[in-house]
Amino acid sequence: MIKWFSDFSGKKLDPLDFTVLKTDMHSHLIPSIDDGSQNEEESIQILSELKKLGFSKIITTPHTMSDYYKNTPEIIKRGENGVIKELKRTDLEIEFDSASEYYVDYDFRQQIDKDRFLTFGSKYLLIEFPFLEEPKDIDDIIFQLQLSGYNIVLAHPERYLYYTIKDLKKFTDKEVLLQLNLLSITGYYSDKVRKNAENLIKEDLISFVGTDCHNMNQAKKLRECFTNPLWHKLSQSERLLNNTL
């Protein structure tokens, strides 16, 4: 049963699915290569649920982290092909592509000028930061990435509690695009993250929305967004780029 929310005026909202987005550009649905889906059956179940939620295209983004998930473009693309074969076998009609979510660390920086990053759309590069502290020399890293032609997308900025909205505006001033996790607006991660998400939406700083879906429980919980006033407000933003992918 969908939980009802009221909008900011107190009026109940009708459920609004994710059809307006068309594309989810952040998830972890290639089996057994990171902390997301663990087998092809689970991947198909999650993709089926995401389709029911309104998505018609998924760009999945496995972690690439030097210490934990040493994924390469070859590993990821091989996994993508496996999922596509399973989609055809099960007759599940949803477009499936892949890129990666890159953890900004020393090894990442060494790869900037080697043209090995997996991107999506208009050379969009999805990056993530540590959750406990800001990465060192981030302004220089951003400059080097942009010099190499990448359009930077910062994953789930609302979850980096060391940043204020003012800090995040400095990123957008540098033409870094911000990607919000849909579950953040439900309080899934914490009340503080939810509040950060609310502030980002009110300031209209979000360019991409992602599910960051790792498992079936998260996929099902996304339905709670449908009557959430923050999702309704975000869905009306002219800044969102998901449906251009």
Q: What is the DSSP letter of 15?
A: P
Q: What are the domain boundaries of the chain?
A: 23-244
CATH topology of domain 23-244: TIM Barrel (3.20.20)
Determine the pLDDT at residue 8: 56
∠ Cα 39 41 43 (to 5°): 70
Determine the pLDDT at residue 178: 99
In this prediction the pTM is 0.95
Q: Which of 140, 225, 223, 150 is nearest to 180 (CA)?
A: 225
> What is the pLDDT tens value at each position of the chain, 245 positions in all?
334 445 555 567 999 999 999 999 999 999 999 999 999 999 999 999 999 999 999 999 999 999 899 999 999 999 999 999 999 999 999 999 999 999 999 999 999 999 999 999 999 999 999 999 999 999 999 999 999 999 999 999 999 999 999 999 999 999 999 999 999 999 999 999 999 999 999 999 999 999 999 999 999 999 999 999 999 999 999 999 999 99
What is the 3-state composition of the chain as percent helix, strand, coil, each rounded to the nearest 5?
A: 40, 15, 40
